[in-house]
Amino acid sequence: MQMPTPDATILARKDQIVKRLQAVLPDGAVVHDPFETRAYECDALTAYKCPPLCAVLPASTAEVSAVMRVCHEEGVPVVPRGAGTSLAGGALPTADSVILGVARLNDVLETDFANRIIRVQSGRTNLSVTGAVEEEGFFYAPDPSSQLACAIAGNIAMNSGGAHCLKYGVTTNNLMGVTMVMADGEVVEIGGAHLDAGGLDLLGLICGSEGQLGIVTEATLRILAKPEGARPVLVGFDSNEVAGACVSDIIKSGILPVAIEFMDRPCIRATEAFAGAGYPDCEALLIIEVEGSDAEIDDQLSRITKIARAHNPVELRESTSAEESAKIWLGRKSAFGAMGQINDYMCLDGTIPVSELPLVLRRIGEMSKDYGLDVGNVFHAGDGNMHPLILFDANKPGDLEKCEAFGADILKLCVEVGGCLTGEHGVGVEKRDLMVSQYNQSDLEIQLAVKDVFDPNWLLNPAKVFPLSSTETRRAS
């Protein structure tokens, strides 16, 4: 992974920059000891590492603003960091950058049940947003797998989704407004406790912008009433194609389950060995969950199982108790861990039209043979968001590179069939150079020019999202 050459003049001014940051923050909020800054050298894409110049941990919008003013005046790049759970290297530092961690921005500022909103500081973890409203019967819908750890700031940066986003949408569908600190320290409010305002939709632009446009410090989020109940059904098939066709038929019928999860044989086997969830040993497995009152659940599941039976499943197991439901989900939730037990793996994230599932799964199988690397597929099939896990051996020379090439081929295939490079993990450094397979030069120029408006000196989250060549030219100019 090529990263930009650090700016030697910044490295030389480290002491001065640290001193200026310390002057605007409370004691202990600037981490600059080279041993301690190693805690920030990578995120969940651990293949790439680089300790930052220093890290700051502000606890308020005013403190974030003060940090940004200093960095703006000193011309120092800033890498915003949520909880560091990015699988795309979205928070990877450069040696000349300041990591701006939002971990201390974790307060609930307001809950307003009459308007179904909650306002939180952006460092608050996803699950603790629900924690703040669940006693009143509400929840925050987007549910990334990392929801126990990941921060709302990162969810907004990556427009994160999760297993239940088929029904409830991703972050952008649940975000009402933000308080954002601009590159020069100015504080702006965008959106709020109301519908779409007039003028250009800057909130939509900011959601998913991966820290390229500003630092979100507070967020107004939509909360929803908890459904009365939920129930999964597990369906096993003897081919990926048939399972894919079953997903297509369910979506086509107009039923909207809250989740349709898909696992293929390599994943099922690994999971079963690891978690013993009692999954059948078959080619492909769907977990379909519906929500509502008992009557609604019965009605939806009867229509879903009717469609599934038409595809000759080798197993069809409707949960009849909370214990059975938990067991059905146990395997799915252990899948990543289970694959990690077998070998190192790279988790991809691409999106395709649901109807292309059978074709894409077949092509991935063929590529797996060509590359000689195993791949397991576990993904949110209802909305076409795939997470192929490619297994490789990090200690075997050349294996990582082979894995990266295989991953790139899969993502290019996603684009080819009418999908895109990412569903919920974002581009980060991981997919930056693949952006040219989705966008032509003039598409990219427009995006770069919009970035220019918000961050004219290109100091925000360097070397991410856009091909390195474009950003290097930009920053130099």
Which of 103, 450 has the CB closer to a second copy?
450
| Segment lying near a second copy (by CB under 8 A), choices 25-33, 48-56, 401-409, 439-447 | 439-447
Query: Which residue, 161, 155, 153, is CA-closest to 81?
Result: 153
- Binding residue for a second copy (CB under 8 A) from 169, 340, 358, 365? 169
431 binds a second copy (CB under 8 A): yes
| Spatial CB neighbours of 303, under 8 Å, sequence gap ≥ 6 | 253, 255
Decide: helix, strand or coil at residue 151: strand
Residues 63 and 32: beta-carbon distance below 8 Å: no
Which of 133, 287 has the CB closer to a second copy?
133
- Binding residue for a second copy (CB under 8 A) from 365, 439, 468, 472? 439
> Checking phi first, is residue 278 left (phi over 0); if not, alpha (psi -120 to 50) or beta?
left
φ/ψ of residue 330, rounded to 5: -50, -50
Polymer length in residues for the chain: 477
Which of 101, 426 has the CB closer to a second copy?
426
The amino acid at 411:
L
Query: Which residue, 435, 452, 424, 431, is CA-closest to 157?
Result: 424
- Binding residue for a second copy (CB under 8 A) from 186, 281, 393, 401? 186
- Compute the Cα dihedral for 333, 334, 336, 337 and give only its sign: positive
| Shortest spacing between CB 354 and a second copy, in angstroms | 5
Which of 273, 420 has the CB closer to a second copy?
420
- Binding residue for a second copy (CB under 8 A) from 80, 232, 266, 423? 423
Which of 87, 465 has the CB closer to a second copy?
465
d(CA 264, CA 286): 9
Encoding tokens for residue 363? Answer: 């092509």
- Binding residue for a second copy (CB under 8 A) from 253, 302, 469, 473? 253
d(CA 385, CA 179): 30
d(CA 407, CA 415): 13
d(CA 144, CA 159): 10
1 binds a second copy (CB under 8 A): no
> Contacts with a second copy in 15-44 (CB under 8 A)?
none
Query: Which residue, 277, 254, 255, 252, is CA-closest to 267?
Result: 277
Which of 334, 351 has the CB closer to a second copy?
351
416 binds a second copy (CB under 8 A): no
Which of 272, 299 has the CB closer to a second copy?
299
Q: How far are the Cα atoms of 19, 27, 46, 55, 372 from residue 31, in angstroms, in the given order?
A: 11, 10, 21, 5, 44
- Compute the Cα dihedral for 53, 55, 77, 151 and give only its sign: positive
- Binding residue for a second copy (CB under 8 A) from 135, 442, 476, 477? 442
d(CA 385, CA 161): 10
Which of 12, 195 has the CB closer to a second copy?
195
Which of 206, 287 has the CB closer to a second copy?
206
Residues 180 and 122: beta-carbon distance below 8 Å: no
- Binding residue for a second copy (CB under 8 A) from 48, 274, 371, 454? 454
The amino acid at 139:
F
The amino acid at 6:
P
- Binding residue for a second copy (CB under 8 A) from 211, 376, 407, 419? 419
Which of 174, 334 has the CB closer to a second copy?
174
> Contacts with a second copy in 132-161 (CB under 8 A)?
137-138, 159, 161
| Shortest spacing between CB 428 and a second copy, in angstroms | 9
- Binding residue for a second copy (CB under 8 A) from 37, 106, 343, 447? 447
Size of the site for a second copy (CB under 8 A): 84
Which of 22, 437 has the CB closer to a second copy?
437
| H or E element in which residue 371 lies | helix 357-371
- Binding residue for a second copy (CB under 8 A) from 22, 106, 305, 355? 355
Q: What character string, x for contact with a second copy (CB under 8 A) and - otherwise, covers 286-315?
A: ------xx-xx--x----------------
d(CA 299, CA 321): 17
- Binding residue for a second copy (CB under 8 A) from 342, 359, 450, 468? 450
Residue written as tokens 């940051």? 21
Q: What character string, x for contact with a second copy (CB under 8 A) and - otherwise, covers 83-122?
A: -----------------------------xxxxx------
Query: Which residue, 205, 52, 91, 153, is CA-closest to 463?
Result: 91
Q: What character string, x for contact with a second copy (CB under 8 A) and - otherwise, covers 197-236?
A: xxxxxxxxx-xxx--xx----------xxx----------
